[in-house]
A and B are shown apart, each in its own frame.
Chain A
Amino acid sequence: MHSDPNGACAQWTLKGLARGARDALPIVPPTLVFAMALGTVAAQKGVTVFELALMSGLVFGGAAQLASMEAWNPPLTLSLIVTLAMITAVVNMRLLLMTASFRPWLGGLPAWQSYPTLLLTTDASWLIAEKYRAEGGSDASILLGSGLLLWFVWVPATAAGHVIGAMIAEPQRFGLDQVMSIFFVAMLVPLWRGMRRAIPWAVAGAVALIVQKLVPGYWYMITGALAGSIAGGFIDESK
């Protein structure tokens, strides 16, 4: 179970830490843009800059944070707080698959080393680590180095985006209320793999629209996303 296809056991080195950070450098500009978009949206929603920085530091997930902003409409009642946690869970469910792929690599490390490192996993650092692994590397510091660099970019940049967003007096006029949707759609286009693979998306959209009509609140996001995911699980077998 824990045998590593690359042979060597995972280890930690300063060199690996530096390489991970360097490999993450090309991701910095898009991360800045994402952070700015999130910051401006959060400012409109009445999230304070301190709350946003805390959220960015702890959740450290752009898509989940941006999605949560769609539902973040004060007053934050208990049911809304639960909804926000559920939305985050659904959006971040993809991390299950990413960190599962780390098992053969990091499974041999003591838990106190592997689990804290996993908490810094993002889409970008996963990709960097997978690429490094495909090249035969086994240094766990790559994951930590890329995750740390992106964390130190993400947290202040979201706060900066908030400060700028809060200065804009008429957010609607500048289309800022649509930034969330437009940003997400820009992420969706590269995921296009033909009509057949888009069937789950259609299911997700249809279920979300129906649930939005029938159920108050933001459950439509969770039910729509899960319905699309379940459809995806069955689609390839109906061929």
Chain B
Amino acid sequence: MNPNEWFSGPAIAAILGMTAMTYLMRAGGFWLMGHVPITPRVRRMLDALPGSVVVAIVLPAVVKSGLSAYAGIVGVIAMMIATGNQFLAIGFGVGTVILVRYLGL
């Protein structure tokens, strides 16, 4: 890889944009708390956010990918419920995808 290909301008711009937003969130809560109260509703909204983020990203991606993706999701959920172990569940989910594709389903 030649040094000119280490970084691309647009990628750096994207990374800096992502960095700015992350810093805004990391410093923002601390700053806000010193200036305005965080109401119970705002707290509930932020509590509901992590799960909503995951579903909003994963569901459309899975619908787009089809059967092997559905199988992987069922696999990881089943293993998480059965064992509660994230490594095992992720491995099992990916294994399910590989198997379904290998079988040509």
Contact = CB atoms under 8 A, between A and B. Distances in A.
Interface of A: 1-2, 30, 33, 37, 47-48, 50-51, 54-55, 58-61, 63-65, 67-68, 70, 72, 74-77, 80-82, 84-86, 88-103, 106-107, 114-115, 118-119, 121, 172-191, 197-198, 200-205, 207-209, 212, 220-236
B72 A96 contact: no
A177 B74 CA distance: 16
Contacts of A95: 22, 25-26, 29
B44 A233 contact: yes
Interface string B51-79: 11111111111110100110011011100
Given A97-B43, A114-B30, A224-B59, 15 more contacts: A48-B1, A51-B6, A58-B15, A59-B15, A64-B18, A119-B27, A175-B72, A181-B61, A182-B73, A191-B51, A204-B52, A208-B60, A209-B63, A222-B56, A229-B48
Contacts, number: 301
B33, B51, B68 interface centre (most CB from chain A within 10 Å): B51
B10 A181 contact: no
A48 B30 contact: no
Contact of B34 (A85, A101, A107, A203): A107
Nearest to B80: A189
A181 B48 contact: no
Contacts of A68: 14, 18
Contact of A76 (B11, B28, B49, B51): B11
Interface in B73-105: 73, 75-77, 80-81, 84, 86-87, 89-90, 93-95, 97-98, 101
A81 B14 contact: yes
B33, B42, B69 interface centre (most CB from chain A within 10 Å): B33
Interface of chain A, main secondary structure: helix
Contact of A228 (B5, B52, B65): B52
A60, A185, A223 interface centre (most CB from chain B within 10 Å): A185
A166 B26 CA distance: 32
B94 A175 contact: yes
Given A98-B29, A208-B60, A91 B53 contact: yes
Contacts of A209: 59-60, 63
B48 A231 contact: yes
A185 B5 contact: no
A93 B51 CA distance: 12
B10 A54 contact: no
A103 B55 contact: no
B6, B8, B22, B42 interface centre (most CB from chain A within 10 Å): B22
27 contacts: A30-B86, A48-B7, A48-B8, A51-B11, A54-B12, A59-B22, A67-B57, A68-B14, A81-B14, A88-B21, A89-B21, A94-B50, A97-B46, A101-B29, A107-B30, A115-B30, A118-B26, A175-B98, A181-B72, A187-B86, A198-B51, A201-B54, A212-B60, A220-B60, A229-B45, A229-B49, A232-B48
